[in-house]
Amino acid sequence: MSIQSLSPISVSPNLGTANVPVRTDAYAEIWQESINDPEKFWLDSAELIDWDRKPTRAIDRHSETEWEWFPDGELNTCFNAVDRHVLAGHGDRTAVIYDSAMTGTQSKISYAELQDHVARFAGVLRASGVDKGDRVLIYLPMIPEAIISMLACARIGAIHSVVFGGFAANELVVRINDASPKVIVTTSGGLEPKRVVEYLPIVDKALKASNGSVRTVIVADRELIPGSAADYQGGDVEYLDWQEAEAKAQPVAPVPVEATHPAYILYTSGTTGNPKGVVRDTGGHAVALTRSMSQIYGIKPGDVFWSASDVGWVVGHSYIVFAPLLAGATTVIYEGKPVGTPDAGAFFRVVEQYGVKVLFTAPTALRSIRREDPELEGAGRYDISSLEALFLAGERLDTETYHWANDGLHCPVIDHWWQTETGWAITANPRGIELLETKPGSSTVPCPGVDLRILDDQGHEITEPGIEGNIALKLPLPPGYLKTVWGAPERFFSSYLKEFPGYYATGDSGFVDEDGYVFVMGRTDDVINVAGHRISAGAIEEALAHHDAVAEAAVVGVRDTLKGHRGYGVVTLKHGFEGDLDALQKALIAHVRESIGPVAAFRDVAIVSRLPKTRSGKVLRKTIRQILDGEEVKVPATIEDRSTLDEILALGTADPDVAHTGAVKTQIAG
């Protein structure tokens, strides 16, 4: 339904047909304009960047499921992220801070130095036969070369595809065969707290099993890790040493491309089937990310912004590399962990040392710190007064962790929600417009440009506040969100647009309250149908996390002979717990039943030392459920530590009518 006309006295977002006022505020006016007049709103936003040919139209809507943003515009993302700041006289400003807790290396790169490195490495790519539209696969850890190579691709109009460092060879093969890159950019290896990952043998194995598109591999040598380009000479693929090639290269000027030109391909994790290559367009990507830095994060040119993620994930693409540099800010690329490198105060040391203004990380990182340092003594050892906000995303933020951080850090803790597919936030507290009142458990309100609705399973809109349903976004999607799936536009439609015609199906469930605040409760396949009653796994997790002994909780819906499904909880405990475990399990079950009600049929909670997670910190709930249901399991390639599955396997199956999990163990593949 279209947005209702609202009086200037009570301007408020209208999610669907329900008038749900937040308050009379600047956010509501901006959000309303973005929905009512997207043409004007996004053309005005396009003024934030420099164009080689300024667009005269914001959007061309070809059909209900096909559209283009800034269709007649031309620009270069690398120029906007680097060169324009140098030309404006800010070449001496720090662009990149590199801090490796693994090697003890700390360095700073100015915008002028970054421009030189990027222009020269673009020359290396050009000399290797890479032109506009060609693909380059980047397989690097958290080192400055990752930023340089991504920007160099953008400089010449090449389409980069970053693969998380340390992925196994078969995952590289899938991505090589799908994207057909001419060049792979890699290094001798990556460093983890307890291991070294040698990349070159993985690349070599992948090349031997792939489609033969790769002609050149460029290797950034790391002295601490064995292997170099010289070790792989003589085959069909040419191996180049990064430093040597860059020293010989001629700098390349930015190449203007159409706003609709693909900026990059980022593959989803691929826990089921082949991973999907999410495609981002150049113009919409640059405009949306630039706008987000000021309006969502409140970042100005020269501010230090730290996204404690990885360049292999979407957060790293958007908020380690592109958005901070587009905004003229200083970005931090950190090689380390929130705990163990060396302790739970590692993040706070970085905040103090570099004067970080906004930190963006995942709730998992906070829970890791909380588990090791429940009193936040690590934060007390450092001066973190520069920190004005802590943003969290990547998974659901439980209220216990929210309160722990919000009370202990004395700066706003802002949960916001988005996906690999969207590239930037769907919902957020728009700090740069105005800081709205926070509600624990809510990621606040839809971002400007996002028309969010709650739909029932038949696609009918739910307008009553507080009723949970499927979260969907009315088409067209905002600039910067996915454009299509690489090489498979039919997958874009079938995966995201088919379920609810006219909408993008987020795959998440949730509700909107009477104030217009959005509560994301979890993936729709995490909604547990207990004897016909829909119970949110997120709500049960929330109840478990409220117990003083619990550090983290994951709840999945397992098969139940009588009720169809029931909730099954797996928890880890805070460091130092010494109570009776049997008594604790009974207390947790009673607490959930008291919080959710007997309808949850909650009777199972297991205590483990660690939850199985991806390398980006997401709990592998589907894998846990498959094991507990006695199903054949394909271990996701993104898993952080396979040994964490052993404790889940040892639990047996949740349904006594299903064969013991020990029989499933040999079926695990991946």
Nearest alpha-carbon partner for 47 in 78, 85, 75:
75
Mean pLDDT of the chain: 90
Is the pLDDT at 660 greater than 60, yes or no? no
Q: How far apart are CA 135 and CA 156, in angstroms?
A: 11
- Going through 362-502 in order, the beta strands assigned E by DSSP cover 389-392, 413-415, 427-428, 445-446, 452-455, 469-474, 484-485
When pLDDT is averaged across residues 40-58 and rounded to a whole number, the result is 98
Contact 566, 555 (CB under 8 A): no
The values of phi and psi at residue 506, to 5°, are -75, -20
When pLDDT is averaged across residues 244-259 and rounded to a whole number, the result is 97
* Residue 233, burial from CB neighbour count under 10 angstroms (0-12, 13-18, 19+): exposed
As a CATH number, domain 531-667 is 3.30.300.30
Q: How far apart are CA 138 and CA 665, in angstroms?
A: 34
pLDDT for position 170: 84
Length of the chain: 670
- Going through 347-440 in order, the beta strands assigned E by DSSP cover 358-361, 389-392, 413-415, 427-428
Name residue 622's amino acid: K
pLDDT for position 177: 96
pLDDT for position 658: 53
Contact 379, 355 (CB under 8 A): no
> Which is higher by pLDDT, 48 or 270?
48
When pLDDT is averaged across residues 153-164 and rounded to a whole number, the result is 97
For the segment 463-515, what is each residue's pLDDT rounded down to a tens digit? 999 999 999 999 999 999 999 999 999 999 999 999 999 999 999 999 999 99
Is the pLDDT at 353 greater than 70, yes or no? yes
pLDDT for position 397: 87
User: Domain map of the chain by residue range?
Assistant: 531-667
For the segment 111-151, what is each residue's pLDDT rounded down to a tens digit? 999 999 999 999 999 999 999 999 999 999 999 999 999 99
Is the pLDDT at 587 greater than 50, yes or no? yes
For the segment 3-36, what is each residue's pLDDT rounded down to a tens digit? 222 222 233 444 443 334 344 489 999 999 999 9
For the segment 176-202, what is each residue's pLDDT rounded down to a tens digit? 999 999 999 999 999 988 889 999 999
**CB-based burial, 310-320: b 16+ in 10 Å, e otherwise:** bbbbbbbbbbb
